[in-house]
Amino acid sequence: MCERFARRSLYSLNDLLFHLPIHYQDKTCIVPIASLRPGDNALVKGELTHCQIHQARQTVLTCTIDDGSGILLLRFFHFNKQQLASLKRGVEQGKWLTSFGEIQYGRHTLQVTHPEYRIIDKNQIVQVAKTLTPVYPTTEGLSQQVLRNCIQQIIEKLTQQHIEDFLPRSIRQSLNYPSLFQALIYLHSPPADCSLFELEEGRDPYRQSLIFEELLAHQLSMKSSYQRQKQLHAFPLIQATEKKHYSTLFLAQLSFNLTQAQQRVLDDIILDIEKSSPMQRLVQGDVGSGKTVVAAMAALFAIQHGFQAALMAPTELLAEQHRENFQQWLQPLGLKVGWLSGKSTAKQRRESLQQIADGSVQMIIGTHALFQDKVVFHQLAMVIIDEQHRFGVHQRLALLQKGNASVAVKNYPHQLIMTATPIPRTLAMTAYADLDCSIIDELPPGRIAVETVVLSEQRRDAVLERVHLACLDKRQAYWVCTLIEESEVLQCQAAEKTYAALVNRFPDLSIGLVHGRMKADEKKSVMQAFKQADLSLLVATTVIEVGVDVPNASLMIIENAERLGLSQLHQLRGRVGRGSQSSVCVLMHGHPLSKNGKSRLKTLRETNDGFEVARKDLALRGPGEVLGTRQTGLAEMKIADIIRDQQLIPKVNETAQILLNEYPDSVEAIIKRWIGQKTDYQNV
């Protein structure tokens, strides 16, 4: 039994109490058959008048009951001999029947299929339920009845003393919420006269109060993590004039000026890093908004104080590209860039680790490999994480631990986290409550919006011809092969096949191939060739989704576009439209396309705005999918849903702040009740 409870993560009495019904049944009164309507779930009582077996396509047992007001047909597709015998006997003996189930249209009368039923005597008084009957989410092997009985027993013995209200009374009252005790009793056994509709919608103050508290628990957990980190020590990096050596030189050597938005974000960063606690800043910026330059500046702010900076990227390809960019930018300044990736050879690795440890490299770039135990930094003062949605919270925190430990007080690095999936403000308040946020809300000047075209797979030949002509015309194009994400192997095979077909069909074009299963060196040289325009067409898998930057590429074809999430497509599309020429992105889809698929692709055709795309994507797929591994906590909430319940968020936010300032004991208790030990943020 225990194991079965565990499968639904019902470990304690507390868990059972907070395991709330998903539906309710009204068995509090007997409804006359004449007043039933299809769709009702109703308790009825009547005389058992017929019982028969029909041999149609399938064997069916049917009974009828008559309560004087009307006749109801009961149907059973599954039944056993005993059942049949007792019903038959019931008819002979003039017995009555109570039935509960969903009423449907039938051929001659209303009907109900597989109702719960009981045979009774004609004048027997039927005990109706005093409260609505809860229906709980169940799991295999744990029946509704067992769950209901367990919870009912707990509820009956429960008193106000058992359930402490951690939300201070004054706050609870100002929100017009009942006590937690009242709320739980109400939701597990709602009074007969309450509105079933309101209850099922979850709009009643009882459920709302619980949703509120759960959202609050998450907010508090993240905000306390934020506060704990703020109490750590970091080297203040005061950007006084005489210190601005490298960052000034770097800006001077760029071929463009920073946008106002980039400048504003840098100002935010400077304010943070001049303090003696670590920066924890998230930069949201649409694809192509120029986050890398901001990252480089942040790194230089640390380096010009004699410290190291590290940049972690989620894929080998992106890390490699950052390495090239940074090398190009920093070498002229006399700075050295170190490199660490999972695919480095043992010798390279040893050398890199040595250089990182002795401080002979100032800028370190890599993948997940950066936060492994063996990596010891000389004096790390700035950690930058690109495309954070690909990383878990613990990975970020592990890197944070790599601060400087060689002095008496441990100094933690400042952290800059970057994401290209911008989300609406209220959502950001919740999802990123443990970070300060800045937004790059402007694209570099001169960008021409990417034109997006949606075409059926049946037009493949025409598309191929268009790509051919464009490439002959010295334009560069991506051909992206996608499959369902799980299968990287198949995706790579698909790309290889497409590559072979294209090479065969267009001998006059120079075509390259890049996918996740190629060796790091191979990938690098292919990307290099594409960047130098030695290749005009690059066949790729979704490995190029994040960060790849080849400004001259102006055409992208995405196969099976309907299979990817909107944010992912937007990211991919962001690989073109980076230069000064007008770009086109062709979303090619299988035929026929579902209505839903059509409207999803239409969203991309209609907007180039990452916020808009993210909003649609969130509505369609939910935060867990869109925001990635970091947000599993949000996706696993028991009863709240940050999309559905977002109207509560401003108030939750405000309340969290009050609790943190004035009721520290409540903070701990609320977090523990709702999140328990699960959270990663706790143990920094």
Binding residues (CB under 5 A) for Mg ion: these are 291, 547
Q: Which is nearer to ligand ADP, 27 or 291 (CB)?
A: 291
Q: Which is nearer to ligand ADP, 196 or 258 (CB)?
A: 258
Q: What tokens appear for 432 in the block?
A: 């990123």
Shortest separation between residue 647's beta carbon and ligand ADP, angstroms: 31
Residues in CB range of 1: below 8 A, 6 or more apart: none
For tokens 């380096």, name the residue: 303
**Beta carbons of 625 and 565 less than 8 angstroms apart:** yes
Residue in 200, 218, 142 with CA at minimum distance from that of residue 20:
200
Shortest separation between residue 322's beta carbon and Mg ion, angstroms: 8
Shortest separation between residue 551's beta carbon and ligand ADP, angstroms: 5
Residues in CB range of 84: below 8 A, 6 or more apart: 51, 53, 61
* Closest residue to bound ligand ADP by CB: 290
Shortest separation between residue 416's beta carbon and ligand ADP, angstroms: 13
Q: Which is nearer to ligand ADP, 393 or 420 (CB)?
A: 420
Residue in 134, 189, 186, 136 with CA at minimum distance from that of residue 5:
136
Shortest separation between residue 383's beta carbon and ligand ADP, angstroms: 17
- Decide: residue 96, CB within 10 A, 0-12 exposed, 13-18 middle, 19+ buried: buried
Q: Using CB distances below 5 to 8 A depending on partner kind, what does residue 578 bind out of ligand ADP, Mg ion, none?
A: ligand ADP
Q: Which is nearer to ligand ADP, 330 or 483 (CB)?
A: 330
Shortest separation between residue 417's beta carbon and ligand ADP, angstroms: 13
Shortest separation between residue 306's beta carbon and ligand ADP, angstroms: 26
Q: Using CB distances below 5 to 8 A depending on partner kind, what does residue 290 bind out of Mg ion, ligand ADP, none?
A: ligand ADP
Shortest separation between residue 332's beta carbon and ligand ADP, angstroms: 16
- Using CB under 6 A as the criterion, which residues of the chain lie in contact with ligand ADP when the complex forms? 256, 258-259, 262, 285, 287-293, 420, 444, 547, 549, 551, 578
Q: What tokens appear for 133 in the block?
A: 């009957």
Q: Using CB distances below 5 to 8 A depending on partner kind, what does residue 287 bind out of ligand ADP, Mg ion, none?
A: ligand ADP
Helix (H) or strand (E) holding 6: helix 2-7
Helix (H) or strand (E) holding 38: none
Q: Which is nearer to Mg ion, 291 or 616 (CB)?
A: 291
Q: Which is nearer to ligand ADP, 27 or 523 (CB)?
A: 523
The span from the CA of 438 to the CA of 425, in Å, is 11
CA distances from 221 to 12, 108, 283, 413, 665 (A): 21, 59, 21, 22, 13
- Decide: residue 308, CB within 10 A, 0-12 exposed, 13-18 middle, 19+ buried: buried
Q: Using CB distances below 5 to 8 A depending on partner kind, what does residue 567 bind out of Mg ion, ligand ADP, none?
A: none
**Beta carbons of 278 and 234 less than 8 angstroms apart:** yes
Q: Which is nearer to Mg ion, 222 or 283 (CB)?
A: 283
Calculated CA dihedral for residues 655, 661, 662, 663, nearest 10 degrees: 70
Q: Using CB distances below 5 to 8 A depending on partner kind, what does residue 585 bind out of ligand ADP, Mg ion, none?
A: none
Shortest separation between residue 507's beta carbon and ligand ADP, angstroms: 32
Q: Which is nearer to ligand ADP, 105 or 256 (CB)?
A: 256
The span from the CA of 439 to the CA of 284, in Å, is 5
Q: Which is nearer to ligand ADP, 483 or 613 (CB)?
A: 613
> What is the three-class DSSP state of 510?
coil
